[in-house]
Every structure is written in structure tokens, then in C-alpha cells.
Amino acid sequence: MTSIKLEITNLTKIYGKKTVLSNLSLQVKTGEFFVVLGPSGEGKSTLLKMMAGIEDPDNGRVLIDGKDVTDEAPNKRNIAMVFQSYALYPNMKVRGNIEFPLKMRHLPKDAIKEKALNAARLLKIDDIIDQPITKISGGQKQRVALARAIVRDPSLFLLDEPLSNLDARTRFSARGELKRIQRELGQTFVFVTHDQKEAASLADTVGVLHQGAFEQIAPFQQIYDNPKTKWIGDFVGDFPMNFIPADQYSEIGFRPEWARIVETGTKEATSAKVESIERVGDIHYLFCRMQSGVAVTLKGAEAKEIGSTISFSVDRYNTYQKPASKDVTLVS
């Protein structure tokens, strides 16, 4: 039986008049890689800071290992955190940065040295351990921040967009390495990002944050295949999910690759006019508009002429209900 590492209940945070998070609840299992996915300004970092104890919630509880830590100071929570800015101590060298959390726990000197060196080795930065922070590259800084987080045995890792300041190539390899480290340590990670590629490659479970609460919590593939709301269908995926009204109360939603371009005149096919084309590798994405005015994105092997009319049939789709006031939701 897996145990619950982190539990959050009814968390609410208000800044002035703006409610950033409202009644948010969450459970993260021990050893899980949990990714909080959401656009900028949705309170992802605030949520992480409240897990860490850097910010106080206006309401709700935070439990780590079953213990209520809502009123505990950050230094009493035994968590490790990596900030987007890395927050390396500029007045210390690489070694000083990695050793800092151990020194705060009054470990014996030899143990501190050994643990710091091991962490540096795991992240392949043992060769720059005596360099000042100001002299190392962005990728190295990110590694130092990670080494400082893993050097002790925290009960929980919190990572706030740690890869977003890296260039595309470094980011790709850092992603793989992060996953490797998490597996090797067998530790629980909570990772905040706005980048769905990171969510797709890193997460065991993804929580999509929208308007101050989780709109869907599931493995990434499930979110991609069965987005719970129209908003998620729009937000997740390289191209937004297509939504076509079925009747007064429901719409059907389908991914571009769930539809097929067929010969004109085929039975049960829908026609649409090609408005623009985007080529990604061998694949052509056709941005079309149906006669009713609804825009659809389709995927095709060959380019079509802009302005031409094509026909497509949908092989697979989800049905979404359309209540009077709320966002359209998935009918499972």
C-alpha cells in the first residue's frame, strides 16, 4: 500500500482583493513525481511556497507525512526546494552552497564534506566545487541548486520551474537527468511548470491548475486524451482540441490526429475550408473553418491549397456537456 506524502486540504490564499487559490485540495503519494501544470499567474509558485511554509495560507491545512505543518516554520518542515532563480548564496562558493543545509543541521564536519562531495558527483559538478557562484554557467547553477536540494534527506522536494532558465538543449538533457535522479533517490517531487512538455516527460501525475484550483489531476496521457474541461483541452496539447457543437447541450471534442481527411463526398464527412497551414517535420497541420464558422485544426500527410475545401471524418471523440453557467465538462 502506498502512503500519502503530502496532503493539502481546502487551501485558500488571498492577496488584497484577488483570490489566488480557492479551496484547493491535493494528495501526493510517496515516491510520486507530481507536476503542477498551469499558465503563468495561476498561483503555481504561491502553492509551492505554502507547501514550503514561506507563505502562510489564509485558510486550509498542509500535511506532510500525516503531520499538520501548516503553522510550522520552513526550517522545521524538512523539505528541499529549488527556485526558478536558483537562489544560490552569492557570498559562498559552490561547496558552501551545497554544504549549507547540512551545516544548519549541525552534522559532523567529515560527514558534511563527504555528503556534499557525493551530491556534487551525482550531478557531475565535483570539478567546479571550489568555484565562486558568480563564475559558473546557468546550467551549472541549476545543478548546484539541485545538489543543494538532494544533499540531505528531505521528506519532500519542491521545484519551481527549475528548468525554465536553461537554453533548449540543456533543458532537454536536464529533464532526463532530473527524472533519473528522482528515480535513484526514490523521493517525492512536486514540480511546478507552465511547460506541458516537461509535464509530459517528467510526471507520474499532473495537476492542471486553473482559476485557483485543480481542474484535473491525472497522468498526462489521460489528461491529453480525456481533458475534463474545454479549457484543459485548449491548454494541453501542441494544438488545441477541436470542439464542434453537437446539439444545444453538448459539444464533441477531438484532437487533430483523431480526425482523417477523406475524399470529398464520403459518407458522414464534414467539409471545411483551409485557411492556413503549419508544417511540423513531415506533418501538415491544416487550420480550417467549417461552414458554421467553427474553426478546426486537422492533421494531414500532404499540404492542401489554401482556400480549397476539404472533407474530414472524426474517428474518435469525447462528448462535453454545456451547463448554463459553468465551463463545458466531459461526459465520461
Partner 1 sequence: MNGKSLRKPAFYVGAALLGLYFLYPLYVLFLLAFVPVQYTIGSINPPQIPPALTLSHLVTALSSPDLISPLEKSLETAFIVGGIALLVGIPAAYGLTKLSRRLSNTISTMLFLTNMMPALAIAIPIIAEYISLGKYIPGGLYDSALGLALAQELIALPLTVFILVGAFESLPRDLEAQARVDGASMFRTLFLLLVPLAKAGVAASFLLSWLLSWDEFTFAVLISPIHPTLQVVIYDNITRGNILASSAFALIVTIPVIVLALFLQRFLRGEMLTGGLTG
User: Amino acid identity, residue 306?
Assistant: I
Does 143 engage in binding with partner 1 (CB under 8 A)?
A: no
The residues in 64-83 that bind partner 1, with binding defined as CB under 8 A, are 73-75, 77, 79-81, 83
Residues 6+ apart with CB under 8 A from 298: 256, 259, 261, 272, 285, 286, 288, 310, 312
Does 90 engage in binding with partner 1 (CB under 8 A)?
A: yes
Instruction: Give me the least distance between CB of 58 and partner 1, in Å please.
Output: 15
Does 162 engage in binding with partner 1 (CB under 8 A)?
A: no
Among 95, 141, 148, 284, binds partner 1 (CB under 8 A): 148
Does 213 engage in binding with partner 1 (CB under 8 A)?
A: no
Instruction: Give me the least distance between CB of 27 and partner 1, in Å please.
Output: 22
Sheet harboring 79-82: ordered strands across? 79-82, 156-160, 189-193, 33-37, 205-210, 213-218
Does 111 engage in binding with partner 1 (CB under 8 A)?
A: no
Q: Count residues contacting partner 1 (CB under 8 A)?
A: 24
Q: Given the rule CB under 8 A, which of 47-55, 176-184, 207-215, 219-227 is the region that contacts partner 1?
A: 47-55
Among 10, 39, 68, 105, binds partner 1 (CB under 8 A): 105
Does 1 engage in binding with partner 1 (CB under 8 A)?
A: no
Closest CB to partner 1 among 97 and 229?
Answer: 97
DSSP 127: G
Closest CB to partner 1 among 88 and 232?
Answer: 88
Among 13, 49, 171, 210, binds partner 1 (CB under 8 A): 49
Q: Given the rule CB under 8 A, which of 84-92, 122-130, 246-254, 321-329 is the region that contacts partner 1?
A: 84-92
Does 54 engage in binding with partner 1 (CB under 8 A)?
A: yes
Query: Which helix H or strand E contains 142, and what residues bound it?
Result: helix 138-150
Does 101 engage in binding with partner 1 (CB under 8 A)?
A: yes
Does 60 engage in binding with partner 1 (CB under 8 A)?
A: no
Task: Give the whole-angstrom CA distance, residue 124 versus residue 145.
Answer: 13
Task: Give the whole-angstrom CA distance, residue 199 versus residue 189.
Answer: 12
Closest CB to partner 1 among 81 and 122?
Answer: 81
Does 15 engage in binding with partner 1 (CB under 8 A)?
A: no
Long-range contact pairs involving 120-127 (C-beta distance under 8 Å, separation at least 24): 120/94, 120/95, 120/147, 122/147, 122/150, 122/181, 122/184, 123/147, 123/150, 123/177, 123/181, 125/94
Does 89 engage in binding with partner 1 (CB under 8 A)?
A: yes
Residues 6+ apart with CB under 8 A from 204: 32, 33, 34, 219
Instruction: Give me the least distance between CB of 310 and partner 1, in Å please.
Output: 51
Q: How many residues does the chain have?
A: 332
| Residue 175 burial by Cβ neighbours in a 10 Å radius (0-12, 13-18, 19+) | middle
Find out whether 220 and 199 touch, Cβ atoms under 8 Å: yes
Does 91 engage in binding with partner 1 (CB under 8 A)?
A: yes
Closest CB to partner 1 among 104 and 283?
Answer: 104
Cell numbers linked to 302: 500532404
Task: Give the whole-angstrom CA distance, residue 58 versus residue 256.
Answer: 42
Query: Which helix H or strand E contains 207, and what residues bound it?
Result: strand 205-210
Q: Given the rule CB under 8 A, which of 101-109, 111-119, 124-132, 161-169 is the region that contacts partner 1?
A: 101-109
| Residue 19 burial by Cβ neighbours in a 10 Å radius (0-12, 13-18, 19+) | middle
DSSP 93: B
Closest CB to partner 1 among 90 and 186?
Answer: 90
Summarize as ranges the residues that interact with partner 1 (CB under 8 A): 49, 52-54, 73-75, 77, 79-81, 83, 85, 87, 89-91, 100-101, 104-105, 148, 152, 158
